[in-house]
Chain A
Amino acid sequence: MIAAAHSEFVLPGVRCAGCIAKIEGGLRDTPGVIEARVNFSAKRVAIDHDATIDVVALKDALAAIGFAAEPIKLASTQPDDREGRELVRAIGVAGFAAMNVMLLSVAIWSGAEGATRQLFHWLSAMIAMPAVAYAGRPFFRSAWGALRHGRTNMDVPISIGVLLATAISLFETIVGGRHAYFDGAVSLLFFLLAGRLLDNAMRNRARDGAAALLRQTAPGGTVLHPDGTSAWLAAEAIEPGMQLQVAMGERLAADGVVELGASSMDMAIITGESWPEPIAEGSRVVAGALNVDAPIIVRVTAAGPDTSISRMARLMEAAGQGRSHYVRLADRAARYYAPAVHLLAALSFAGWMIAGAGWHESLLIAVTVLIITCPCALGLAVPVAQVVAAGALMRRGVLVKDGSALERLAEADCARFDKTGTLTVGRPEPVGEWVLADAEAPLALALARASRHPLSAALVRTLEGKGVQAADVADLLEIPGLGVEATWQGKWVRLGRPEWVGVTGHDRLATAFALEGAPPRLLEFADRLRPDAAAAIRRMERDGFDVAIISGDRGEAVAPVARELGLLALVGMTPEAKLAAVERLEQAGRKVLMVGDGLNDGPALAAGHVSIAPASASDVGQTAADILFLGDSLMPVPIAVSAARRTLRVVRQNFALAIGYNVLAVPLAIAGYVTPLVAAVAMSSSSIIVIANALRLRRCAR
């Protein structure tokens, strides 16, 4: 019997029913795979397989079917899921109880008397009490947690209101009183759970979206053993002193020194610099870098938690501490709201006692005050507004990862942008005069296709965009570190390093092309600005932002961008310097919006009051940022800002509506006119008004 194993992969490329059928069918035909099931919503595939087939083989099998897949660690997704499930179960119970108790209550309101009323009250109690005990747990737990630490949050008045309402209703039922508020207690829970569930769903959905975009740097690498054998080891198992064989197009799994071979490395993930750096024997290389040109052998100097990428992660974790202390708007409101409400209830109890109403009636009135002021509309106001706004933003390609991100974004007054990959597209594109002759373009395309170098890829994109068809060339050969060579109609053609092709004396990012007998052509590349970067920056400035660039690049590289956008720039910033710059601003009382993508921006992204990253960012950037945007345009940043500010306005309106309703209803409650019927009608209508107001945000992302 072979041990069964379970693996899951992220599949960003799944788009249609055909993809699902192709993946599931293809995997079932792969030897060793027992069962495969695609989850379309989460863009994942779960595979049950034998121990004979490992993660790498499964990834290759998926690649053979035509889908890029990345393995995911299973443990990381579980806890959030559990919270959501508990909420769904609680809402199911609360919904069931609310419906049935409401039915019985309608009979009581319409004038059931005597034994019938008594029976209905008892039935309501039987349904409501277990339901409150079960469905109220998320609130009770949170309220208890807050009280134990001497704080108060929205859940404290909710819990007290619901528990007191249930207790007093039970007492009324036992003594055969006229009014029982079981219906109020359970429908309150139902409404509030709906708000809580929306909040939770928004966070989870955005997190799933981010996970689907997340590309793991390198889960492992091929280790050469001293005895000449080689084996694939997971990143955690790699140790200093081992020899790593790094193929072309592979990411390094550990820091090290090159022992054999020459190549160039795309270090964009570390430095944010798009130009591949040439490396030779003795060069230091870091985990996460992409080997571009030729296979090399690397002696590992630091692995696992000691790599520079892990060091950066720790720096980010420390920088992100401040943000976890952020108190959400609803909880800030509850700080004032909860004591006020409890004081009011206590006062009305005392007032009626003094007026000589007897403790029974006084207590009943105090409880109706609590029920009527229970922050039902408040509990819904914030999540509904945020979910609607986040949905609108998602349609515009902006993923909000964190529930409080929109609140924090609305407060930001100062923006810092990284350059490479943030203000610019982050990939080289041909610039300058077009030098290739018509006859040469098809040859250049044929050669460029044979290489995985980023400049070749850029050239392929451009040529294909121009509708060029690749020529038929023979003897295609890639010479590591230099370029690609082939023969065409008896002549040689070359595409590669300018010096190798025969061009000297240039200092920019370039490649060269030459056909035997014709002069060599120099093709210059540059990382261009995002198409509407200038318009987006202007809009940010109109919105009152103080905008500047903080870049890790050299001054000469940043200057043209800064000039074109009319921005001040800090250059040559290390990750630590970026972090320090953001922290200085924060200490000066500014609320910093950090926009960046690279590993070097990670700590600054985590330290900013709020942070945005493009979806093309390194995983570090994506993890650290609160909000991600898709596509080449920079416009989503100011759009997200406007949407966040509108959301904050609607949330404030909702607070005003909820409080206004209380101002109307509380005097009635204090005067003792609030029956269960009045409470039920008032509560539902205020919730509906708040939801309707929040729905106006559906078109806020403009």
Chain B
Amino acid sequence: MNGLAFLIPVALLLGLGGLGAFFWSLRAGQLEDLDGAALRILIDDETETQKK
């Protein structure tokens, strides 16, 4: 029973953490442009760093 008293809050907090992260990603617009995110990794941004 002692294990439970420790593990159940841990499990719930981890779950809540995941839920919180999901809400954050929604609000921060992480899921707005799913196809674009896949393509942006291909953009060669060397020119921009050279400018700086």
Residues of A bordering B, CB below 8 Å: 16-18, 20-21, 25, 38-42, 85, 88-89, 92-93, 96, 99-100, 103, 116, 119, 123, 127
| Seed contacts A41-B36, A127-B12; 8 additional CB < 8 Å A-B pairs | A20-B40, A40-B33, A40-B36, A41-B33, A42-B33, A88-B31, A89-B26, A123-B8
Q: What would be 18 A-B contacts, judged by CB atoms less than 8 Å apart?
A: A17-B40, A17-B43, A18-B43, A20-B39, A20-B43, A25-B47, A38-B36, A39-B32, A39-B33, A40-B33, A40-B35, A40-B36, A40-B39, A41-B35, A42-B33, A92-B19, A96-B18, A100-B15
Q: Report the minimum CB–CB distance from A466 to chain B (whole Å).
A: 36
Pairs A-B, 3 closest by C-beta atoms: A40-B36, A17-B42, A17-B39
Compute how far the CA of A628 lies from the CA of B16 in the bound complex, rounded to whole angstroms. 43
When chains A and B are docked, how far (Å) is the Cα of A660 from the Cα of B17?
Answer: 41
In the assembled complex, the Cα of A119 lies from the Cα of B11 at a distance in Å of: 15
Q: Which residues of B lie under 8 Å from residue A100 when comparing CB positions?
A: 11-12, 15
Cα separation A123 to B34 with both chains bound (whole Å): 36
* Shortest Cβ gap from A180 to chain B (Å): 17
Query: Once bound together, how far apart are the Cα atoms of A38 and B40, in whole Å?
Result: 10
B36: shortest Cβ distance to chain A, in Å? 3
A38 partner residues in chain B, CB cutoff 8 A: 33, 36
Distance of A96 Cα from B26 Cα, bound (Å): 16
Tell me the complex Cα distance, A190–B47, Å: 47
**Interface residues of B toward A: which range?**
20 to 34
A88 touches B26 (CB 8 A): yes
Q: Which residues of B contact A96 (CB under 8 A)?
A: 15-16, 18-19
Chain B, range 26-52, C-beta contacts under 8 Å to A:
26, 31-36, 39-45, 47-48
Bound state CA distance, A456 and B41, in angstroms? 42
Whether B23 is near chain A, meaning CB under 8 Å from some CB there, is: yes
Closest beta carbon of chain B to A185's beta carbon, Å: 18
Which of chain B's residues has its CB closest to A24's CB?
Answer: B43
Residue on B nearest A91 in the bound complex, by CB: B22
What's the Cα separation between A85 and B39 when bound, in Å?
24
How far is A18 from B45 in the complex, measured between Cα atoms in Å?
Answer: 11
Smallest beta-carbon distance B9→chain A, Å: 10
Q: Chain B nearest CB: distance from A564 CB in Å?
A: 42
In the bound complex, residues from chain B placing their C-beta under 8 Å from that of A99 are 15
Q: How far in angstroms is the closest Cβ of chain A from B39?
A: 4
B1-23 contact mask (Cβ, 8 Å, vs A): 1 or 0: 10010001001100110110011
Indicate if the CB atoms of A85 and B36 lie closer than 8 Å: no
Distance in angstroms from A170 CB to nearest chain B CB is: 19
- Given contacts A20-B43, A40-B33, whether A92 and B15 have CB atoms under 8 Å apart is no
A16 touches B39 (CB 8 A): yes
Name the residue of chain B whose CB is nearest to the CB of A42: B33
Which of B16, B19, B34: most chain A CB closer than 10 A?
B19
The interface residues of chain A lying within 8 Å CB-to-CB of B45 are: 21
B23 touches A92 (CB 8 A): yes
List chain A residues, Cβ under 8 A from B41. 17
Chain A minimum-CB-distance residue to B36 = A40
Instruction: Output the least CB separation between A577 and chain B (Å).
Output: 44
Bound Cα distance from A25 to B45, whole angstroms: 10
A89–B23 touching, CB < 8 Å: yes
Q: Bound complex: CA of A59 vs CA of B23, how far in Å? A: 35
Contacts of B15 in A (CB 8 A): 96, 99-100
A-side contacts of B8, CB under 8 Å: 123
Set of chain B residues within 8 Å of A17, measured between Cβ atoms: 39-43
A18 to B43, alpha carbons, bound, how many Å? 7
**How many angstroms from the CA of A96 to the CA of B20 in the assembled complex?**
10
Most buried by B among A41, A42, A85: A41
A232 to chain B, nearest CB (A): 31
Question: Complex formed: what's the CA distance from A116 to B3 in Å?
Answer: 13
Chain B positions within 8 Å of A92 at CB level: 19, 22-23, 26
Bound together, the chains give a CA A39 to CA B40 distance in angstroms of: 11
CA–CA, A487 to B17, complex, Å?
A: 76
B16 to chain A, nearest CB (A): 7
Minimal Cβ-Cβ distance residue in A for B8:
A123
Partner of B43, one of A21, A88, A103: A21
- Which residues of chain A have C-beta atoms less than 8 A from B31's C-beta? 88
A41→B40 CA distance, assembly (Å): 12
Task: Report B41 CB to chain A, min CB distance, Å.
Answer: 8
* Contact call A93/B36, Cβ cutoff below 8 A: no
A316 and B16 alpha carbons, distance in the complex (Å): 49
Which residues from chain A contact B16 at a C-beta distance below 8 Å? 96
Contacts of A25 in B (CB 8 A): 47-48
Give, as a whole number of angstroms, the nearest-CB distance from B48 to chain A. Answer: 8
List chain B residues, Cβ under 8 A from A127.
Answer: 12
Q: Report A-chain residues with C-beta under 8 Å of the C-beta of B48.
A: 25
- Bound complex: CA of A669 vs CA of B49, how far in Å? 68
A93–B33 touching, CB < 8 Å = no
A21 to B43, alpha carbons, bound, how many Å? 6
Which residue of chain A is the closest to B41 with respect to CB atoms? A17
> In the docked arrangement, what's the CA distance between A42 and B35, Å?
9
Q: Which residues of B contact A85 (CB under 8 A)?
A: 26
Q: Which residues of A contact B19 (CB under 8 A)?
A: 92-93, 96
In the complex, what distance in Å separates the CA atom of A541 from the CA atom of B12? 61
Min CB–CB distance A663 → chain B (angstroms): 37
Which residue of chain B lies nearest to A28 when distances are taken between CB atoms in the complex?
A: B48
Q: How far in angstroms is the closest Cβ of chain A from B33?
A: 4
| Complex CA distance for A41 and B8, rounded to whole angstroms | 40
Distance, CA A21 to CA B19, complexed state (A): 33
- Taking the closest CB of chain B, its distance from the CB of A11, in whole angstroms, is 12
B26 proximity list for chain A (CB < 8 A): 85, 88-89, 92
How far does the alpha carbon of A103 sit from the alpha carbon of B8 in the complex, in Å? 10
The CA of A21 and the CA of B42, in the complex, are separated in Å by 10
A residues near B42, Cβ cutoff 8 Å? 17
CB distance from A37 to the nearest CB of B (A): 9
Name which residue of chain B comes closest to A22, CB basis: B43
Contacts of B12 in A (CB 8 A): 100, 127
